[in-house]
């Protein structure tokens, strides 16, 4: 059976094209060899289940690895300590009657364990010790999809029990409990705080503060993406530049695992195997246009958490430059969902260009700015060769702003948002636009638009005087030089009550580059 790119289920190297992550998985192997308890906390579709499968497949033999999932638990399983006890025993018994670790004796142990009447968490603790001491291999437990259980006191009591047994392991021996426990989910279990004992009304502690810290970037870099494309090319013999396409896929996805596979899947199955830069962009646009579990998760979280929504809007639409601080609760939350990341300068940016576009579309769709393109359609904004007539777009936007009646309420940060609102329907379905927050030299670029395989760089600034305007020209010309472009666009919003020096937009020459300048007066009534 031919392999395929996978975006739906846990990846299997026999059925799916996969990035070679063996070196990354060695981090988990080291933690387990050391007898650590740890969590794999990553955003949705970030490779958590695939990582657990790697551990299960590669470490069974040296250890007895048992894989469980709380995804399909019933509400009745969490009604009492007794029902949870029986639920856990059933799952353990099932683990030894299917899969690669079938063992009749181990299955019987957990079937017999269910005969206890009205069992408690203490009874479960005793059974775990009895089971671990009965075998010749250290037991490793993997539990996936723990998010469903995080608000349940029984699950937290279960974690507290495992925590105590882990702490007591030095006293009672390595076989007194599970050698290693690995929990996988989106939320950071380690930072949760609950009461360990009912009488501790004011004393709080984490039920999982024994979890080991580790550093592991689970995104795919271009070199890692290329390992998957080499496998694909060896089977299909397309003949494309693997290095170039790997870098282009990374450009749009920042290595977010399901997005990397999604772009490849779109090209392979829906874009006539167009393994070019243009094909990658078209695949990215297709993903943005679809309603997926991932995109719904992102926007739903914004609806659920107003502070998160305001923070993301400030970063993306209002162009605030914010230092990345994982101790900030809102920032930590956004980072947990992988909506944001820290750039090379240690400042916040949206995780990838696909998320950028999904979020921009979300904020535009809910806005009441009423930025409507004239009924004449898109054609007036195109040249005879089919390129964007960017000077005309900027002029029309300037005209629209000059007619805006509520200028007193027009905030400085709103200008960028409104320009994007105006631009979106013009290029929608054909072009692509994004903020590229950091160039190779660490400087900032505001807006990049691609259309008909041409690139347009637009710098949007606030007027702070002629000297500042000249510095903006310098910065823009450096951007253009870095991208081998001869032309760029500088749009400045002025909030001065008096007129600015420039009355009409004009082309100027600066540092060997042609720059189209337009000053939009937003301060005068």
Of 44-48, 271-275, 345-349, 464-468, give the range with the top mean pLDDT.
Answer: 271-275
Contact status, residue 66 vs residue 101, Cβ threshold 8 Å: yes
| pLDDT score for 230 | 97
| pLDDT score for 499 | 57
In this structure, the number of other CB atoms found within 10 A of the CB of residue 316 comes to 25
**Which has the minimum average pLDDT: 219-223, 290-294, 500-504?**
500-504
| pLDDT score for 145 | 87
Confidence tier at 206 by pLDDT (50, 70, 90): low
Residue 314 lies in a domain: no
Last residue of a domain, one of 290, 313, 334: 290
| pLDDT score for 193 | 46
With a cut of 70, say whether residue 204 has pLDDT above it: no
SS3 content of the chain, % helix, strand, coil (to 5): 45, 15, 40
- Please indicate whether residue 126 or residue 343 has the higher confidence score (pLDDT): 126
Average pLDDT over residues 72-93: 90
> Alpha helix locations (H) across 168-291?
169-172, 222-236, 242-253, 257-270, 277-289
Q: Do 180 and 100 share a domain, yes or no?
A: yes
Residue 324 lies in a domain: no
Q: Is 487 exposed, middle or buried (0-12, 13-18, 19+ CB in 10 A)?
A: middle
| pLDDT score for 442 | 41
Residue 99 lies in a domain: yes
Residue 356 lies in a domain: no
Q: Do 394 and 473 share a domain, yes or no?
A: yes
Which CATH number does the domain housing residue 502 bear?
3.40.91
Residue in 301, 298, 249, 302 with CA at minimum distance from that of residue 275: 249
pLDDT digits (tens, 9 = 90+) for 281-337: 999 999 999 888 889 989 999 999 999 999 999 998 887 889 999 889 899 889 988
User: Could you give the CA distance from residue 458 to residue 407 in angstroms, rounded to a whole number?
Assistant: 23
Q: Do 162 and 230 share a domain, yes or no?
A: no
- Please indicate whether residue 415 or residue 364 has the higher confidence score (pLDDT): 364
Q: Do 257 and 397 share a domain, yes or no?
A: no
Residue in 207, 205, 198 with CA at minimum distance from that of residue 165: 207
Q: Do 35 and 93 share a domain, yes or no?
A: yes
Mean of per-residue pLDDT scores for the chain: 86
Q: Could you tell me the two tokens for 294?
A: 């991932």
Number of domains in the chain: 3
Confidence tier at 100 by pLDDT (50, 70, 90): confident
Percent of the chain with pLDDT over 70: 87
Confidence tier at 440 by pLDDT (50, 70, 90): very low
Q: Do 226 and 183 share a domain, yes or no?
A: no
Confidence tier at 365 by pLDDT (50, 70, 90): confident
Last residue of a domain, one of 239, 262, 290: 290
Average pLDDT over residues 82-98: 92
Residue 113 lies in a domain: yes
Contact status, residue 500 vs residue 472, Cβ threshold 8 Å: no
With a cut of 60, say whether residue 194 has pLDDT above it: no
Q: Do 49 and 159 share a domain, yes or no?
A: yes
With a cut of 80, say whether residue 368 has pLDDT above it: no
List all residues 6 or more positions away from 452 whose beta carbon is below 8 Å from its beta carbon.
Answer: 385, 386, 387, 388, 430, 431
Of 224-233, 340-349, 391-400, give the range with the top mean pLDDT.
Answer: 224-233
Q: Do 130 and 260 share a domain, yes or no?
A: no
Contact status, residue 342 vs residue 348, Cβ threshold 8 Å: yes
Last residue of a domain, one of 191, 214, 236: 191
Residue 174 lies in a domain: yes
Residue 41 lies in a domain: yes
The neighbouring-strand residues paired with 488 are 515
Residue 342 lies in a domain: no
Q: Do 169 and 54 share a domain, yes or no?
A: yes
Q: Is 400 exposed, middle or buried (0-12, 13-18, 19+ CB in 10 A)?
A: middle
With a cut of 90, say whether residue 139 has pLDDT above it: yes
User: Which conformational region is residue 448 in: left (phi greater than 0), alpha (psi within -120 to 50 degrees), or beta?
Assistant: beta
Q: Do 146 and 286 share a domain, yes or no?
A: no
| pLDDT score for 199 | 45
Q: Could you tell me the two tokens for 268?
A: 């392979």
Of 97-106, 174-183, 310-319, 498-507, give the range with the top mean pLDDT.
Answer: 174-183
With a cut of 50, say whether residue 203 has pLDDT above it: no
Percent of the chain with pLDDT over 90: 57
* Residue found by looking up tokens 């040296």 in the block: 62
Q: Residue 132 sits in which domain range?
A: 22-191
- Residues 132-165, buried b or exposed e (16+ Cβ, 10 A)? beeeeebbbbbbbbbbebbebebbbbbbbbbbeb
Average pLDDT over residues 130-152: 89
Confidence tier at 412 by pLDDT (50, 70, 90): low
**Which has the minimum average pLDDT: 253-267, 297-311, 399-413?**
399-413
Average pLDDT over residues 217-243: 96
Which CATH number does the domain housing residue 102 bear?
3.40.50.300
Q: Do 380 and 466 share a domain, yes or no?
A: yes
| pLDDT score for 401 | 79
pLDDT digits (tens, 9 = 90+) for 143-178: 998 887 766 788 889 999 999 999 999 899 999 999
User: Could you give the CA distance from residue 398 to residue 395 in angstroms, rounded to a whole number?
Assistant: 5
214 three-state secondary structure: coil
| pLDDT score for 399 | 85
Average pLDDT over residues 455-483: 83
Q: Could you tell me the two tokens for 510?
A: 């600066």
Q: Do 121 and 268 share a domain, yes or no?
A: no
Confidence tier at 450 by pLDDT (50, 70, 90): very high
User: Could you give the CA distance from residue 197 to residue 219 in angstroms, rounded to a whole number?
Assistant: 39
């Amino acid at each position: 059976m031919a392999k395929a790119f996978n975006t739906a289920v846990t990846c299997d190297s026999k059925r799916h094209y996969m990035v070679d992550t063996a070196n990354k998985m060695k981090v988990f192997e080291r933690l387990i060899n050391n007898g650590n308890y740890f969590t794999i906390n990553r955003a949705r579709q970030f490779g958590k289940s695939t990582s657990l499968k790697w551990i299960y497949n590669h470490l069974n033999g040296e250890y007895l690895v048992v894989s469980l999932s709380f995804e399909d638990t019933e509400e009745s399983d969490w009604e009492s300590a007794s029902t949870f006890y029986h639920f856990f025993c059933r799952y353990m018994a099932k683990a030894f009657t299917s899969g690669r670790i079938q063992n009749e004796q181990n299955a019987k142990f957990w079937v017999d364990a269910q005969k206890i009447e009205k069992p408690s968490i203490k009874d479960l603790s005793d059974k775990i010790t009895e089971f671990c001491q009965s075998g010749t291999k250290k037991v490793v437990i993997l539990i996936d999809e723990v998010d469903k259980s995080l608000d349940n006191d029984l699950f937290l009591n279960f974690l507290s029990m495992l925590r105590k047994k882990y702490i007591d392991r030095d006293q009672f021996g390595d076989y007194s409990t599970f050698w290693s426990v690995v929990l996988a989910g989106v939320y950071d279990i380690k930072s949760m705080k609950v009461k360990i004992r009912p009488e501790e009304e004011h004393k709080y502690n984490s039920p999982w503060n024994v979890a080991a810290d580790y550093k592991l970037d689970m995104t795919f870099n271009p070199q890692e993406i290329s390992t998957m494309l080499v496998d694909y090319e060896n089977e299909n013999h397309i003949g494309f530049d693997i290095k170039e396409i790997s870098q282009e896929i990374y450009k749009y996805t920042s290595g977010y695992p399901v997005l990397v596979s999604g772009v490849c899947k779109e090209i392979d199955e829906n874009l006539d195997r167009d393994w070019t830069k243009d094909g990658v962009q078209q695949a990215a646009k297709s993903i943005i246009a679809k309603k997926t579990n991932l995109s719904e998760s992102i926007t739903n979280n914004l609806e659920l958490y107003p502070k998160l929504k305001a923070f993301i809007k400030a970063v993306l639409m209002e162009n605030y430059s914010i230092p990345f601080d994982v101790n900030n609760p809102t920032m930590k939350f956004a980072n947990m969902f992988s909506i944001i990341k820290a750039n090379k300068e240690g400042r916040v940016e949206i995780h990838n260009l696909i998320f950028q576009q999904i979020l921009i579309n979300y904020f535009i769709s809910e806005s009441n700015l009423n930025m409507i393109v004239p009924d004449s359609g898109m054609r007036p904004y195109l040249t005879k060769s089919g390129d964007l007539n960017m000077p005309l777009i900027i002029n029309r936007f300037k005209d629209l702003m000059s007619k805006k009646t509520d200028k007193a309420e027009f905030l400085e940060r709103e200008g960028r948002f409104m320009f994007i609102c105006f631009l979106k329907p013009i290029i929608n379905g054909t072009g692509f636009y994004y903020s590229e927050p950091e160039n190779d030299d660490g400087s900032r670029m505001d807006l990049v638009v691609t259309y008909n395989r041409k690139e347009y760089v637009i710098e949007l600034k606030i007027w702070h005087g002629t000297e500042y305007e000249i510095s903006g020209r310098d910065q823009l010309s450096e951007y253009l030089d870095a991208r081998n472009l001869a032309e760029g666009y500088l749009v400045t919003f002025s909030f001065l009550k008096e007129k600015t020096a420039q009355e009409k937009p004009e082309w100027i020459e600066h540092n060997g580059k042609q720059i189209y300048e337009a000053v939009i007066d937003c301060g005068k009534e």
